[in-house]
Amino acid sequence: MRRRKFLKKSGLSTAGLLSAPVLASCNTKSNATVAQTTSSSTKPIVICTWNFMNASAKAWEVLENEGSALDAVETGVKVEEADINNQTVGIGGRPDREGRVTLDACIMDKDANCGAVLCMENIAHPISVARKVMEETPHVMLAGLGAELFAYEQGFEKTNLLTEQSKKEWEEWKKTSKYETIINIENHDTIGMLAIDANGDIAGGCTTSGMGYKMAGRVGDSPIIGAGLFVDNEIGGATATGVGEEVVRTVGSFLIVELMRQGKSPQEACEEGVKRIMKKNEGRKDFQIGFIAVNKKGETGGYCVHPGFTYREYSENGHENKAVESFYQGG
Ligand code: ASP
């Protein structure tokens, strides 16, 4: 778009776009507004899990320049993959128990084409390798060494993903070797992103280093089409963050898209998705999951298990860090 038109309409300057309130830290509820389903005719929009402002801004840049939703999500999530200070995605991610950083990612386009890499080492941009799997192979998923070798074939460079910081923390962790997920200050914080472009087409991408100090070889929901991400261009898309094992058990993102197909709003569908998970986990409070969704009209919604999860939305109306309602109210 027509950046000028966008800026005029929203009354925001470029500087304003990137200024104070939106720089809230990833997991705080401060200056987040409670998500409401918003109605609009289909216009470009991007949403992502958590308050990944730079990633969503980058994706929005692609959309406003009339790029495809697919390019937008790939470009957007790459920002987090490249950020060494983000210890839950890409380079700098926390390693598994053996000290290896293994990455998971998947991508899905408007034609239900999809690609994924699982448990891949030494490559800084798993989302781009996932896209290559989608576009250059007859397969959907490549795992481990196979994914890594394919990446080299495609021209990706070998990169050491274990930063000094993550190594230091892992060495500290080894002293107790206690494996637990800490809600919202997680050793996990996937970026899942959904976008609609100027043609009204939807795409999604999801990328993570998975749970910190996971068992070697562990794969969560994030690279699993239907679990961590699902897009149906007729209906909408959904993506997840949180304890992947629980998302896989309900095929969470597919479920949410199917609920939207049955007439639920993105908000209602995300709520139902979390409730299904909690039904299988009655009384359990030791994990977080957050879902976000967008439908074909560009309406969005999100819901989570515990307070604290937010999602960032970018559209011609500006951008916002949206707090979502949760299954538990705290405590
Ligand atoms: N869903 C990711 C996984 O289970 C982690 C996360 O989103 O926090 O690997």
Read off the pLDDT of residues 124-157 as tens digits, 9 standing for 90 and up.
Answer: 999 999 999 999 999 999 999 999 999 999 999 9
Pocket test for ligand 1, best of 222, 229, 286 (most atoms within 8 A of CB): 222
Place of tokens 């899942």: 192
Determine how many CB atoms are found less than 10 A away from the CB of residue 287.
Answer: 18
Residue 199, pLDDT score: 97
**Mean pLDDT of the region 251-259:** 98
Place of tokens 């559209």: 315
Active site residues: 190
Q: Which domains does the chain have, with CATH numbers?
A: 31-172+181-323 (3.60.20.30)
- 60 φ, ψ (degrees, to nearest 5): -65, -40
76 and 195 Cβ atoms separated by less than 8 Å: yes
| CB of 221 sitting under 6 A from ligand 1 | yes
Q: How far is the CA of 231 from the centre of ligand 1 (A)?
A: 19
Residue 179, pLDDT score: 73
**Mean pLDDT of the region 78-84:** 96
Q: How far is the CA of 289 from the centre of ligand 1 (A)?
A: 9
Extract the tokens encoding 179: 């494996």
Q: How far is the CA of 232 from the centre of ligand 1 (A)?
A: 22
Pocket test for ligand 1, best of 180, 188, 225, 246 (most atoms within 8 A of CB): 188
Is 242 among the annotated ligand-binding positions? yes
Q: How far is C-alpha 280 from the geometric centre of its chain's CA atoms?
A: 24
Is 155 among the annotated ligand-binding positions? no
271 three-class SS: helix
Residue type at 163 in one-letter notation = T
**Mean pLDDT of the region 246-272:** 98
Is 244 among the annotated ligand-binding positions? yes
Extract the tokens encoding 57: 């801004």
Extract the tokens encoding 201: 């087409």
Residue 32, pLDDT score: 53
Read off the pLDDT of residues 218-231 as tens digits, 9 standing for 90 and up.
Answer: 999 999 999 999 99
Q: How far is the CA of 227 from the centre of ligand 1 (A)?
A: 11
Is 192 among the annotated ligand-binding positions? no
**Mean pLDDT of the region 302-328:** 95
| CB of 290 sitting under 6 A from ligand 1 | no
Residue 155, pLDDT score: 98
- Which residues, including other chains, have CB under 8 Å from residue 293's CB and lie 6 or more apart? 194, 236, 237, 238, 239, 256, 257, 260, 266, 267, 269, 270, 300, 301, 302
Q: Helices in the chain by DSSP H: which ranges? A: 3-10, 14-17, 53-64, 69-82, 126-136, 144-153, 164-174, 244-250, 252-261, 266-279
281 three-class SS: coil
Pocket test for ligand 1, best of 241, 251, 289, 309 (most atoms within 8 A of CB): 241
Read off the pLDDT of residues 172-211 as tens digits, 9 standing for 90 and up.
Answer: 999 988 777 655 555 347 999 999 999 999 999 999 999 9
Strand arrangement, sheet containing 236-242: 229-232, 236-242, 289-295, 300-304
Residue 2, pLDDT score: 39
* Atom number, ligand 1, closest to the C-alpha of residue 181: 8
At residue 39 the predicted structure's pLDDT band, cuts being 50, 70 and 90, is very low
Name which of 105, 108, 50 is nearest 219 in CA terms. Answer: 105
184 and 37 Cβ atoms separated by less than 8 Å: no
Residue 331, pLDDT score: 57
Mean pLDDT, rounded, of the chain = 88
Is 133 among the annotated ligand-binding positions? no
276 and 249 Cβ atoms separated by less than 8 Å: no
28 three-class SS: coil
Read off the pLDDT of residues 261-290 as tens digits, 9 standing for 90 and up.
Answer: 999 999 999 999 999 999 999 999 999 999
Phi-psi map region of 92: left, alpha, beta (phi>0 left; psi -120 to 50 alpha)? left
Residue 6, pLDDT score: 35
Q: How far is the CA of 54 from the centre of ligand 1 (A)?
A: 20
Per-residue DSSP letter, 214: P
In this model, does residue 309 exceed pLDDT 60?
yes
Residue 31, pLDDT score: 41
Name which of 86, 242, 182, 327 is nearest 77 in CA terms. Answer: 86
